[in-house]
Amino acid sequence: MQQSPVQTAPTDEAAIDALIQQMTLAEKIGQMTQVEKNSIPVEDVTTYFIGSVLSGGGGNPQPNTPENWAAMVRAFQEAALKTRLAIPLIYGSDAVHGHNNMHGAVIFPHNVGLGATRDADLVRRIARITARELIATNTHFNFAPAVSVPQDIRWGRSFEGYSEDTSIVTELATAYMQGLQDEDPRVLASIKHFVADGGTIWGTAQIYEWLQGNWQAPGDSYSIDQGDAQIDEATLREIHLPPYKAAIDLGAQNVMVSFSSWQGVKMHAQKYLITDVLKNEFGFNGFVISDWMAVSQIDPSYSTSVITSINAGMDMVMVPFDYKTFIATLTAAVENGDVPIERIDDAVRRILRVKAWLGMFEHPFGREDLLPEVGSAEHRQVAREAVRKSLVLLKNENNTLPLSKDVPVLLAGQGAHDVGMLCGGWSIDWQGGRGMTTVGTSALDAVRKAGVEVQISPEGTFAGGNLAPIGLVFVGESPYAEGMGDNNNLHLSPEDIAVIDRMRASCEKLVVVLISGRPMVITDVLPKADAFVAAWLPGTEADGITDVLFGDYPFTGKLSFSFPRSMEQVPLKALKQHPDAPLFPLGYGLINRQ
């Protein structure tokens, strides 16, 4: 497809400075503005010189197809290229486990599962596929990877963390970043959420009275997400900062700041951490972006919030809705001397530097010739590999696993035929969904494709009085994202337990597969199963589960999070202080071979 003419690419710092000298204040502040795609007419990208547009969770075109995604993003880019200086915009999306907003894209296991693989090369290949599916839709900016180190599994974002262990997070997150960035076509990784989003304390989430009425402001369900990390700087540097330093050393060009606070101060107001530590001490030369509407949480006065965050070191603001108010507010702050023009120029320089590094001045669009690759069999094979490598065998008595393909199976549980449950949150919609939400293989589909005779009853009620040889139950968590998943009761639901009990009475050997975004308290149900498997949130390719259950591949996954015996061992600090050992420790995983 013919490329539109664009601004001559700045090839070095002097060229970037020369471009900045040509820019008006309006053009500079436009570059610092990121707007949610449903909130801006395409022509306003031109009028306000907008530097970035995004699709948040569920920010999809209708109908939601790869071709419509490509056309949607192309339209915004064409509007940016109509501006006086023809500076390309950068389009961003929460593609946190594949291009997961887009129907038909392959959806990989969430990070909690990838942590169990301990396979950095696999994670790099997953990122490479994600980059290709993003670039096929003209999308150059991925809000991933999370480098969170979750210390409390009650947190609704625990599944976005690779591990409770900093070294595992660092290895896998940097591999993911390199997979996005180190080959052509290049996609910008966003290292998030700076910093200690995984170190907040239960009960410290706030409700901001001045934001109520906005459907995505934190509400009553938030207890730890966006809360306060009440830790000293030594702990911050030991547990939460190392992945950022490693990523910067390996070429990180974007960092997203956390909704959370450190020692009572919102991260978006933390000049010491953003400017002194991240930019100066760590030598970060890319740009810093805010999270969704997070700047507004700093103070009831929007002007104070904007001034504080920009002066703290924020370079681009995910507004995401009322961009005209943000632009007017920051313009007035500069004109009044509340924000120095040098701070504006520094922010714009960082943004332009990254756009030049991505090659967007020469090639502002993506690679629509890659559209046939989206959701391809080749991509799905890598996801299938990731699923089987992520499974952790917690229990296997009486040689229950691997199962024989010649023995009929009773299949039950809420996850038995539900691709949406396997994908979890951040899948087509922000909170995910239930049922056949996208193209994929359910557990039932996978068992049938394996050539196994199967009867299904989600409730676990089967006719006949004879015991079946094998019962297979898929239970666990319904999809959620962010604070909507904060949960102080990580036991299986009464409905799940009832299904397990019915199946226990219906079969000779019972296999339980746990679908969850974090460890759960399974101490009471574990004795009921002959075999128990942690499958995390595996995504669209459930064939990877049956690959291992039926012995085509061995179990190799190792826990990247400890399993507590009870809620008394949550958070991790309580587990470490508890006199009893965890039910299953970090690194646990049985190996089963034919």
pLDDT tens string 183-218: 999 999 999 999 999 999 999 999 999 998 776 788
Give the model's pLDDT for residue 214: 73
Burial (CB count within 10 angstroms: exposed 0-12, middle 13-18, buried 19+), residue 384: buried
Rg (CA), the chain: 24
Structure tokens at 145: 């990877």
Which parts of the chain sit beneath pLDDT 50? 1-3, 594
Neighbours of 3 (CB within 10 A): 10
Give the model's pLDDT for residue 9: 84
Burial 488-511 (b: 16+ CB within 10 A, else e): eebbbeeebeebbebbbebbebbb
Distance CA 321, CA 579 (A): 50
Structure tokens at 561: 């999070």
The H or E element containing residue 318 is: strand 317-318
> Starting at the edge strand that comes first in sequence, how are the strands of the sheet with 261-262 ordered?
228-229, 261-262, 265-266
Give 428-454 as a DSSP string: SBTT--SSS-SS-B-HHHHHHHTT--E
* pTM, to two decimals: 0.97
Sequence-ordered alpha helix ranges (H) in 230-370: 233-235, 242-249, 271, 302-312, 323-335, 341-357
Tell me whether residue 482 is one of the annotated catalytic residues.
Answer: yes
Q: Letter for the amino acid at 558?
A: K
Distance CA 110, CA 113 (A): 6
**CA contacts within 13 A on the Cβ side of 335:** 11
CA–chain centroid gap for 491, Å, is 24
Neighbours of 229 (CB within 10 A): 24
Provide, for the chain, the percentages of residues in helix, strand and coil under a 3-state DSSP scheme, each rounded to the nearest 5.
40, 15, 45
At 357, phi and psi to the nearest 5? -60, -35
Residue 228's region, left for phi above 0, alpha for psi from -120 to 50, else beta, is beta
Give the model's pLDDT for residue 464: 79
Give the model's pLDDT for residue 593: 55
Distance CA 364, CA 362 (A): 6
Give 134-191 as a DSSP string: HHTTT--EE---B----S-TTSTTGGGSS-SSHHHHHHHHHHHHHHHHSSSSP-EE-E
Query: Closest Cα to residue 310, out of 275, 336, 335, 283?
Result: 275
Give the model's pLDDT for residue 2: 43
Neighbours of 242 (CB within 10 A): 16
Find all residues with CB under 8 Å of 438, minimum gap 6, and list them: 103, 104, 105, 107, 419, 420, 423, 427, 428, 540
Domains detected in the chain: 376-577 (3.40.50.1700)
Burial (CB count within 10 angstroms: exposed 0-12, middle 13-18, buried 19+), residue 202: middle
Distance CA 19, CA 23 (A): 7
Q: Letter for the amino acid at 577?
A: Q
Distance CA 406, CA 193 (A): 48
Catalytic residue among 94, 171, 291, 368: 291
| DSSP type of residue 553 | S
Tell me whether residue 164 is one of the annotated catalytic residues.
Answer: no
Catalytic residue among 482, 496, 541, 543: 482
